[in-house]
C-alpha cells in the first residue's frame, strides 16, 4: 500500500509517522546519493531508540509508478523528519574523548594520514633548508675509506671470538663425561666468559679504530658473553636434573623439559648463530625458507640503513658539531640544541630498531628456520618505563628473566633488589658498548640507565593514580625522545672532541 499524505492516529492517540525506507529521485528533485544519505540519517534517529520504542515504521512500496514514488518521497520528508522527531535518544561520547579514542571500533585512519602529510611536509622543508645551509655532506668514503684499514685488529679479534664457544663446549663435554668436578667446570666457564668480554676491550683500547667498528665489536662480544652464560647455566641445570633422575629423586610436576641432557656441538653451533640469547638443545623450526621474502627484507635493510646513515651525516653531525657542552654552556641554548637534536635522533633510533630487531633478526631466523620470532612487542604502547624495558628487546628480556632475575629470587634476594641488579647489569653493558669505543669512562651511559629506576617508579605511580594509558605513555615518549638519548649524544660527543683536542696538543 502507498504511504498516505497524513499521519495516522493510533488507538492511544499518538501519531504514527510512516515513510519509505528507500527513496528514488524523480525529475531532478533529489538525487540518489542525497536521498540515501538523508534517509540513513533518519534511520540513525530510529536506531538510537530502544527496540520497544518503535516510533517509525517502514512499509515498503514497490511500485513502478514514478508519480506515486514522488508522492511517497515527499510524504516521507514531510512526516519522518519533522521537528518533533527526537534528535537525541542515548548517551554518546565524542570520537576523540579519552573513553572512546582507544576503542578498536573507533578508526583514526584520517588523523594518521594527516600526521603522515604533516611529517612529509615538515621534513621536506628541513631537508631543503639543511642542504641550502650546509650543502651535500655525504662523502664518497661514507661506506668505506682507507682509514678503515686501521680496524684490522678489531676484525681479527671478531674472528677469534669463535674460540670461546669452542672452549665452553670442551668444558661441558668433560663435565658430561664426569672427567672434571662440577666446581671446576663452573670456574672454567667463568674464566672463558670473562675473557670473552675483556679481550675485545683491551684490543679496542690499544687500537686507534673508528667508533662504529669499536661499537660493532663490543656488541658482538657482549652477545657472545650472554650466549656463553646461557649455555653454561642451562647445561648446569640440565646436568643437575639428570643427576636427580639417576638418584631416583622425585621432580616437581610443574617442571616441563622437552629434551634430555645432551652436549652436542651441532646444537651449540646453531645456538651461537641463532637470533636468541637463551640456550636450549632444540628450538621450534619452520618447514622451509622463503627465499623471495628474504630478498625483499634484505632490500629494505639496505634502504633503511642508507636512510639512517643519511640522517646521521646530514643532520645529526652538523647539529652536534655546532653545539656547546650541555652542562657548560647557556641553559636555554643547551635546551634548544637538545630539542633540535631529538627529532633526527629519534628517526635514527627508530630506523636502527626496524633494521636490527625486525629486518635483520627476521632474515637470520628465516635462513636458520628459527620459529620463535617474537623479538619485540608493542613497546610503543608502553604505559610505564617498566613495560618498555620488558617489551622492546625480547631476547635480552628473556635472558634477564631466565639467568638473572629468577635465580636472584630463588637465592632469597627481594624482588626490588633483583630488579635493581638487572638494571645494573644492563647499565654496565651499555657503558661498555659506548665508553670503550670512545675511550671515555665518565659513566654517562651507566648513569642514564640507572636513572631509569626512579622513572620506573614515577611512571608506575602515574599509571596507578590516573588509570589512563595516555599519561604514562606520553611521559615515556617525552623522556625517551628528549631527556635520554639526545643528552647522551651531546655529552659523549663533546667529551670525545675534548679528548681528541688534548691528544692533538700533546
Please state the three-class secondary structure of 151-199 as a single string. HHHHHHHHHHCCHHHHHHHHHHHHHHCCCCCHHHHHHHHHHHHHHHHHH
- Report how far residue 497's alpha carbon sits from residue 438's, in angstroms, rounded to the nearest whole number: 10
Residue 251 vs residues 262, 279, 473, 484: alpha-carbon distances, Å = 19, 22, 43, 47
Question: Which of 233, 397, 430, 494 is an active site residue?
Answer: 430
- CA 174, 396, 427, 330 dihedral sign is positive
Distance (Å, whole) CA 26 – CA 66: 7
**Are 22 and 40 in contact, with CB atoms under 8 Å apart?**
no
Rounded-to-integer distance, Cα 253 and Cα 239, Å: 18
DSSP 8-state class, residue 147? G
Asked if 430 is an active-site residue, the reply is yes
User: Quick check: helix, strand or coil at residue 139?
Assistant: coil
- Residue 141 and residue 213: Cα distance in Å, rounded? 15
Question: What single-letter DSSP state applies at residue 207?
Answer: S
User: What phi-psi label fits residue 233: left (phi over 0), alpha (psi between -120 and 50 degrees) or beta?
Assistant: alpha
Residue 483, C-alpha cell as written in the block: 631527556
Query: CA 274, CA 111: separation in Å to the nearest integer?
Result: 40
| Residues belonging to the chain | 506
Q: Are 335 and 323 in contact (CB under 8 A)?
A: no
- CA–CA separation, 278 and 398 (whole Å): 7
In angstroms, rounded to a whole number, what is the distance separating the alpha carbons of residues 148 and 73?
Answer: 81
> Please, which residues bridge with residue 471 across strands?
none
Contact (Cβ atoms closer than 8 angstroms) between residue 475 and residue 459 = yes
CA dist., res. 219 & res. 211, Å (int): 12
User: Is-contact 277 256, C-beta < 8 A?
Assistant: no
Q: Which of 70, 78, 80, 75 is nearest to 29 (CA)?
A: 70
Tell me the catalytic residues: 430
Amino acid at each position: 500500500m502507498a504511504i498516505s499524505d497524513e499521519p495516522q492516529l493510533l488507538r492511544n492517540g499518538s501519531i504514527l509517522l510512516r515513510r519509505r525506507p528507500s527513496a528514488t529521485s524523480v525529475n531532478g528533485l533529489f538525487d540518489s546519493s542525497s536521498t540515501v544519505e538523508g534517509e540513513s540519517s533518519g534511520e540513525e534517529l530510529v536506531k538510537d531508540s530502544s527496540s520497544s520504542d518503535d516510533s517509525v515504521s517502514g512499509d515498503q512500496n514497490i511500485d513502478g509508478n514514478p508519480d506515486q514514488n514522488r508522492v511517497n518521497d515527499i510524504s516521507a520528508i514531510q512526516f519522518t523528519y519533522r521537528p518533533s522527531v527526537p534528535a537525541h535518544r542515548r548517551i554518546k561520547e565524542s570520537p576523540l574523548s579519552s573513553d572512546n579514542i582507544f576503542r578498536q571500533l573507533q578508526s583514526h585512519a584520517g588523523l594518521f594520514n594527516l600526521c603522515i602529510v604533516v611529517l612529509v611536509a615538515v621534513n621536506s622543508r628541513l631537508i631543503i633548508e639543511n642542504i641550502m645551509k650546509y650543502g651535500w655532506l655525504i662523502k664518497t668514503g661514507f661506506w668505506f675509506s682507507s682509514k678503515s684499514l686501521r680496524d684490522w685488529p678489531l676484525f681479527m679479534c671478531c674472528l677469534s671470538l669463535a674460540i670461546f664457544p669452542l672452549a665452553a663446549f670442551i668444558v661441558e663435554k668433560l663435565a658430561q663425561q664426569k672427567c672434571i668436578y662440577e666446581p671446576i667446570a663452573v670456574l672454567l666457564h667463568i674464566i672463558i666468559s670473562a675473557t670473552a668480554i675483556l679481550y675485545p676491550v683491551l684490543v679496542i683500547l690499544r687500537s686507534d679504530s673508528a667508533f662504529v667498528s669499536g661499537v660493532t665489536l663490543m656488541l658482538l662480544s657482549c652477545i657472545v658473553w650472554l650466549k656463553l652464560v646461557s649455555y653454561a647455566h642451562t647445561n648446569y641445570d640440565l646436568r643437575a636434573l639428570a643427576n636427580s633422575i639417576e638418584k631416583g629423586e622425585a621432580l616437581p610436576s610443574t617442571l616441563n623439559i622437552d629434551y634430555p641432557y645432551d652436549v652436542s656441538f651441532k646444537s651449540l653451533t646453531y645456538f651461537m648463530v641463532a637470533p636468541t640469547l637463551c640456550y636450549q638443545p632444540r628450538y621450534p623450526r619452520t618447514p622451509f625458507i622463503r627465499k623471495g621474502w628474504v630478498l625483499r627484507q634484505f632490500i629494505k635493510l639496505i634502504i633503511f640503513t642508507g636512510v639512517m646513515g643519511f640522517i646521521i651525516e646530514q643532520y645529526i653531525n652538523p647539529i652536534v658539531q655546532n653545539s656547546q657542552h650541555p652542562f657548560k654552556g647557556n641553559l636555554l641554548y643547551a635546551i634548544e640544541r637538545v630539542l633540535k637534536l631529538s627529532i633526527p635522533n629519534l628517526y635514527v633510533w627508530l630506523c636502527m630498531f626496524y633494521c636490527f630487531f625486525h629486518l635483520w633478526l627476521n632474515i637470520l631466523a628465516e635462513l636458520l628456520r628459527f620459529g620463535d620470532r617474537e623479538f619485540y612487542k608493542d613497546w610503543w604502547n608502553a604505559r610505564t618505563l617498566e613495560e618498555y624495558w620488558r617489551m622492546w628487546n625480547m631476547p635480552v628480556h628473556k635472558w634477564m628473566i631466565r639467568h638473572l632475575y629468577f635465580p636472584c629470587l630463588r637465592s632469597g634476594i627481594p624482588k626490588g633488589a633483583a630488579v635493581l641488579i638487572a638494571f645494573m647489569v644492563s647499565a654496565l653493558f651499555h657503558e661498555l658498548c659506548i665508553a670503550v669505543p670512545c675511550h671515555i669512562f665518565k659513566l654517562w651511559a651507566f648513569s642514564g640507565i640507572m636513572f631509569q629506576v626512579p622513572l620506573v617508579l614515577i611512571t608506575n605511580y602515574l599509571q596507578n593514580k590516573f588509570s589512563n594509558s595516555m599519561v604514562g605513555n606520553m611521559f615515556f615518549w617525552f623522556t625517551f625522545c628528549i631527556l635520554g638519548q639526545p643528552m647522551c649524544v651531546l655529552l659523549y660527543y663533546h667529551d670525545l672532541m675534548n679528548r681528541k683536542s688534548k691528544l692533538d696538543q700533546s
